[in-house]
């Protein structure tokens, strides 16, 4: 099964991110991510065997994530595959990312990315990647839990199912 570890936004922030996705789509074109799919990926794990997935499930359920806040204050793009995102730098998120990957190494995952860019993908296959004319962003995302998420690829894009959540701190 195809898995990743993510932070999922609170409902009020998810709604605001959906509004930003609408704004970005009107300006840039492309395929808008559904509100239910909006998240911050901390670790993409790819295809995982069921036995290993069970171990990850238990690890996530037993985990306590230090509470933190992430300030989203910038638009960004990835040229391939035409992604428009919102995000912002966060030393606390970078530390969480590093500690998650340190633990994943003990499960045998070695595909740790060299550079972590905390972001939420709003659009895929955008026709324009110019975001300088979009409105300024100043949102705060309080986070306290990590989720283990399964990704299903379907004809109209990916669908996500949360398999486990860490405990509240």
Over residues 45-99, the pLDDT tens digits come to 999 999 999 999 999 999 999 999 999 999 999 998 899 999 999 999 999 999 9
The H or E element that residue 163 is part of is strand 157-165
Beta bridge partners, 120, equal 86
Q: Tokens 């990835």 — which residue?
A: 78
Instruction: Specify the number of domains making up the chain.
Output: 1
For the whole prediction, is pTM greater than 0.75? yes
> At CA 75, angle to CA 130 and CA 158, rounded to 5?
95
E strands in 27-156: 31-32, 40-47, 68-72, 74-78, 83-87, 119-124, 139-143, 147-154
Q: Supply the CATH number for residue 62's domain.
A: 3.90.1140.10
Q: Give pLDDT, residue 169.
A: 66
E strands in 16-72: 31-32, 40-47, 68-72
Q: Give pLDDT, residue 39.
A: 96
Mean per-residue pLDDT, 94-111: 92
Q: What is the pLDDT of residues 120-167, one digit of tens each?
A: 999 999 999 999 999 999 999 999 999 999 998 877 777 899 999 998
Supply the range of the domain harboring residue 6: 2-165
Structure tokens at 145: 């839990």
Q: Are 40 and 65 in contact (CB under 8 A)?
A: no
């Amino acid at each position: 099964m195809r898995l990743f570890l993510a932070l999922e936004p609170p409902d009020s922030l998810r709604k605001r991110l959906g509004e930003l996705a609408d704004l970005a789509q009107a300006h840039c074109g492309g395929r808008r991510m559904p509100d239910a799919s909006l998240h911050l990926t901390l670790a993409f794990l790819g295809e995982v065997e069921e036995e290993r997935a069970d171990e990850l499930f238990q690890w996530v359920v037993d985990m306590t994530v230090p509470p933190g806040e992430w300030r989203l204050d910038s638009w960004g793009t990835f040229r391939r595959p035409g992604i428009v995102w919102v995000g912002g730098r966060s030393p606390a998120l970078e530390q969480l990312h590093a500690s998650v990957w340190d633990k994943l190494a003990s499960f045998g995952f070695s595909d740790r990315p060299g550079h972590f860019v905390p972001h939420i993908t709003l659009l895929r296959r955008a026709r324009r990647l110019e975001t300088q004319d979009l409105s300024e962003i100043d949102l705060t995302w309080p986070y306290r839990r990590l989720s283990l998420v399964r990704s299903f690829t379907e004809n109209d894009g990916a669908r996500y199912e949360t398999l486990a959540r860490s405990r509240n701190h």
